[in-house]
Amino acid sequence: MDVNAAVAAVAAIAGACTGVIAMLAFRWSERDQARPTRTSLHTDAVLPPGVDTVLSVLRSSAVVLDESDSVVKASSAAYALGLVRGGKLAVEPMLHMARDTRRDGEIRQVELDLPRRGTGRGEALAVSARVAPLGSRLVLLLVEDLTEARRIEAVRRDFVANVSHELKTPVGALSLLSEAVMDASDDPEAVMRFAGRMQIEATRLTNLVQELIDLSRVQNDDPLEDAEPVRVDELVAEAIDRSRQPASSKQITMAAGGTADLRVWGHRGQLAAALGNLVENAVNYSPAHTRVGIAARRVTAPGGDQIEIAVTDQGIGIPDKDKERIFERFYRVDPARSRATGGTGLGLAIVKHVAASHGGEVTVWSTEGQGSTFTLRLPEAGAVRDRPSRSGHSPQYHSENHQEPLTAPEVLP
């Protein structure tokens, strides 16, 4: 009886100990789960209420740092700019700013040039960084990418400088010539000579101002607001008529042809100016007794049929090193020749903007000493159009000087 009682007592003690151990283990587990881990310190839970929502809608790159300089929160733009790597802020000047702000609570701002990651290009990434305290322990870093704004500002400065230089030349010439006319008032022959020069400079100044106005319009206006189906043959006829006098003086034959009844969709005035600039350049940069051809055709493209208008000359051609820059404003392959022909350096820039605003493009093929072909590609208008004849013969180019017709291979390289 005493043995059974002892066994029962031992069993009761063992059960009690097991219960105590299980209760302690459960309490320890609960405390362990409630204890913040290393990972949980860097989650959104440590951010003040509403901050995460605000950061998600900011256009700037955002980074939140804790007291140990670890990244608590970073936007995808911050990673894209290379600001955060391995959970740490990778830009040392910004890190120093964050530490100073954490120490004294003052807001700081600075502009920095950062190297681009993985591009292999020498140009820097311009950013504006602003650091502010966020609560008692966190620091907020906002970074704005200023690279595009700086590029636009540089383009604006260059444009103003170029315009000032281009305007200064004819204005200065007119001032000198007017003084010469006054000094030669008793010499009718000299007065006539200087007056003729003044007319040339005045015409150059007028052309420059007009092309500046045209460039401003094509850059700021939406051509598709007043868009309409425009007949290509009418554009070609207008471009030829515009350059008829200078072509005649150099005995240059202008020929037009290609597929008939083509239409493009766009602003008639801008399209006429663009094609007129291409034909005018072809005439100005072609030697005497040569040909300038304008050909139009329909080509199939993934986004819909397009119209190609090619202007071909037998002029001096364009060096390979200049082909990428000829569409820049005021860029000239041969500045001396441009001054002699009255060129402003804006014609091809206008063509490029007109093509882009109409959903098209302009390209160039050229070989020095053999001539050039500028091709303007534009979306075809959705109107009913006549298909080419079933005979399969290529249309011929009819010369306005009644010389032999030019076939397509002779005009289009």
Residues 189 and 252 in one domain: no
Residue 208 within a domain: yes
Is pLDDT of 410 > 60?
Answer: no
Give 149's DSSP letter: H
Count of C-beta atoms within a 10 Å radius of residue 120:
5
Is pLDDT of 374 > 90?
Answer: yes
The pLDDT-based confidence of 44 (bands split at 50, 70, 90) is very low
* Residues, the chain: 413
The pLDDT-based confidence of 275 (bands split at 50, 70, 90) is very high
Residue 97 within a domain: yes
Give 309's DSSP letter: E
Residues 327 and 378 in one domain: yes
Residues 182 and 249 in one domain: no
Residues 228 and 365 in one domain: yes
The pLDDT-based confidence of 392 (bands split at 50, 70, 90) is very low
Residues 402 and 290 in one domain: yes
Judged by average pLDDT, the poorest of 48-52, 81-85, 202-206, 285-289 is 48-52
- Summarised one tens digit per residue, pLDDT across range 137-153 is 888 889 888 888 887 77
Q: Which of the pair, 207 or 92, is modelled with greater confidence?
A: 92
Is pLDDT of 165 > 60?
Answer: yes
Is pLDDT of 381 > 70?
Answer: yes
pTM for the predicted model, two decimal places: 0.52
Across 357-377, average pLDDT: 88
Residues 50 and 180 in one domain: no
Residues 232 and 381 in one domain: yes
Residues 326 and 365 in one domain: yes
CB 202 within 8 A of CB 167: no
Give 230's DSSP letter: E
Q: Which of the pair, 41 or 224, is modelled with greater confidence?
A: 224
Residues 245 and 216 in one domain: no
Give 105's DSSP letter: -
Is pLDDT of 194 > 70?
Answer: yes
Residue 65 within a domain: yes
- Where among 145, 168, 185 does a domain terminate? 145
Residue 15 within a domain: no
Report how far residue 79's alpha carbon sits from residue 56's, in angstroms, rounded to the nearest whole number: 14
Q: What is the pLDDT of residue 36?
A: 40
Is pLDDT of 31 > 60?
Answer: no
Count of C-beta atoms within a 10 Å radius of residue 41:
13
- Where among 187, 220, 253 does a domain terminate? 220
Residue 37 within a domain: no
CB 274 within 8 A of CB 235: no
Is pLDDT of 37 > 60?
Answer: no
Q: What is the pLDDT of residue 17?
A: 55
Report how far residue 214's alpha carbon sits from residue 207's, in angstroms, rounded to the nearest whole number: 10
- Where among 220, 247, 271 does a domain terminate? 220
Q: Give the CATH number of the domain where residue 288 resides.
A: 3.30.565.10
Is pLDDT of 116 > 60?
Answer: yes
Residue 2 within a domain: no
- Summarised one tens digit per residue, pLDDT across range 212-261 is 777 776 666 666 667 788 999 999 999 999 888 889 999 998 888 888 88
- Summarised one tens digit per residue, pLDDT across range 68-111 is 888 888 888 888 888 888 888 888 888 888 898 888 888 999 88
Residues 185 and 228 in one domain: no
CA of 52: how far to CAs of 64, 107, 162, 235, in Å?
Answer: 10, 20, 48, 57
CB 71 within 8 A of CB 83: no
Residues 165 and 312 in one domain: no
Burial 332-353 (b: 16+ CB within 10 A, else e): bbeeeebeeebbbbbbbbbbbb
Domain span at residue 83? 42-145
Report how far residue 162's alpha carbon sits from residue 135's, in angstroms, rounded to the nearest whole number: 51
Q: Give the CATH number of the domain where residue 161 resides.
A: 1.10.287.130
User: From the centroid of its chain, how far is CA 30?
Assistant: 59
Across 16-35, average pLDDT: 49
**Mean pLDDT rounded to a whole number for the chain:** 75
Residues 313 and 373 in one domain: yes
Report how far residue 323's alpha carbon sits from residue 364's, in angstroms, rounded to the nearest whole number: 8
Q: What is the pLDDT of residue 200?
A: 81
- Summarised one tens digit per residue, pLDDT across range 334-356 is 655 555 555 567 778 888 888 88
Number of domains in the chain: 3
Residue 348 within a domain: yes
Residue 24 within a domain: no
Q: Give the CATH number of the domain where residue 89 resides.
A: 3.30.450.20
CB 215 within 8 A of CB 346: yes
Count of C-beta atoms within a 10 Å radius of residue 410:
13
Is pLDDT of 310 > 90?
Answer: yes
